[in-house]
Amino acid sequence: MLTGSFEHTIGAGTPAPYHLVLRPGDHFGQRVLFGDHLRTGQVVAIEDSSVLFIERGQWSAATAYALASVVLSVGGFFAALVAALWAYDGWDNVGLVGSEIQNPSRNIPLALVAGVSLVAVLYILTSGACFHVLPFAQAAASPHVVSDVIASVAGSHVASWLTVAMIICALGTLNSSILTGARVDYAMARDGRFFRVARGIHPRFRTPANALIFQGCLAAVLALTGTFQDLFSLYIFAQWIFYGLATAAVLRLRRTEPELARPYRTWGYPVVPVIFILGSIAVTASVLIARPLRAGLGLVVILIGLFFYRHWRAQQATNPGA
């Protein structure tokens, strides 16, 4: 629910036709706090149930196959990393509703650490279960590994129901991602830094209705421009550029504004932020090398956005009431 306290929200949106669904909600920020991570965890936890059916282990075969194929290209590693980062993504949505969360200085770091840790543990357990049940070569060649694991231990009928359950959980995650992303468009439009059409608030539900519709239309256009892999590669490419820039801003603000209140201070500063920035550069560079055309188009869109931003900023300076 958007109220008068909704201030200073920044970030980026998430595409899907699901934007067109408007729903009421009080204390939205509180619900979304753990929503993305827990729903992602639900998907992985369902997948992880395969551990209960394991009767045979093939760790030695998987290890032998891995050792035989130990020479991997750096490009291949980062190509796999991009897909993994897509699976983990969603933690950033919490920051987009910071002004709607009670005691954000405590609850946001807690949600991020707990949520990411939970997903990481479930993700590792699920991967281990898959390689324990399937031969390594079969797992590497399968387009739907978890379904094959469930089918091999419980039958294809159970695997079909698993797919349905994963779809339901994915829709729950989309609900949080879409509603948080639209708040960014709304906040920027309200401050005169985005298209005015995204500025409207639904009179009954108090949601950023115009921003949701705008974001949904943009998502529909993007969906027509490439495959799912193309789209999530472009998303990770653009997203990690801004992750790196945001982390670099932490370094700069520590130096230029040391008196700012900082309820949460980065562990291992400044080593941890520097490592994160270097990782962001590596991820974006790998996508640029692997998919130069798609990444190049993403850079063009970002640069066009900078032009519009400067235009809106200059317009606001000359006409503050606009």
Judge if 4 and 24 occupy the same domain: yes
**Containing structural domain, residue 198:** 1-225
**pLDDT for residue 216:** 92
**pLDDT for residue 73:** 62
Q: Could you tell me the pLDDT band of residue 91, with boundaries at 50, 70 and 90?
A: confident
pLDDT over 50 at 240, yes or no: yes
pLDDT over 50 at 106, yes or no: yes
143 vs 110, higher pLDDT = 110
Q: Could you tell me the pLDDT band of residue 322, with boundaries at 50, 70 and 90?
A: low
236 vs 75, higher pLDDT = 236
pLDDT over 80 at 153, yes or no: yes
**pLDDT for residue 74:** 65
- Residue among 222, 19, 25, 179 nearest 90 (CA): 179
Judge if 82 and 213 occupy the same domain: yes
Percentage of the chain modeled with pLDDT above 70: 75
pLDDT digits (tens, 9 = 90+) for 30-84: 444 444 444 444 444 434 444 434 344 444 554 545 544 544 566 667 767 777 7
Judge if 217 and 235 occupy the same domain: no
**pLDDT for residue 273:** 94
Judge if 151 and 259 occupy the same domain: no
**pLDDT for residue 54:** 39
Report the pLDDT averaged over residues 83-107. 81
Asked if residue 6 lies in contact with residue 212, where contact means CB atoms within 8 angstroms, the answer is no
Domain count, the chain: 2
Judge if 218 and 243 occupy the same domain: no
Structure tokens at 215: 């974001």
**pLDDT for residue 233:** 81
- Residue 188 has φ and ψ, to the nearest 5°, of -70, -40
CA atoms within 13 A on the CB side of 179: 29
Judge if 285 and 213 occupy the same domain: no
pLDDT over 50 at 236, yes or no: yes
Q: Is the pTM of this model over 0.85?
A: no
Burial class (CB in 10 A: 0-12, 13-18, 19+), 21: middle
63 vs 277, higher pLDDT = 277
Judge if 268 and 215 occupy the same domain: no
Residue where one domain finishes, among candidates 166, 198, 225 = 225
Mean pLDDT, the chain, rounded, equals: 76
**pLDDT for residue 252:** 93
Residue where one domain finishes, among candidates 225, 255, 284 = 225
Judge if 124 and 5 occupy the same domain: yes
Lowest mean pLDDT of 10-19, 209-218, 279-288, name the range.
10-19
Lowest mean pLDDT of 167-181, 188-202, 240-254, name the range.
167-181
Judge if 68 and 177 occupy the same domain: yes
Judge if 47 and 115 occupy the same domain: yes
Residue where one domain finishes, among candidates 174, 193, 225 = 225
Judge if 177 and 219 occupy the same domain: yes
Longest distance between any two alpha carbons in the chain, whole Å: 72
Lowest mean pLDDT of 97-101, 210-214, 284-288, name the range.
97-101
Q: Is the peptide bond before 203 cis (omega within 30 degrees of 0)?
A: no
Judge if 235 and 304 occupy the same domain: yes
**pLDDT for residue 253:** 92
Measured distance CA(269)–CA(162) in Å, rounded = 43
- Residue among 1, 43, 36 nearest 116 (CA): 36
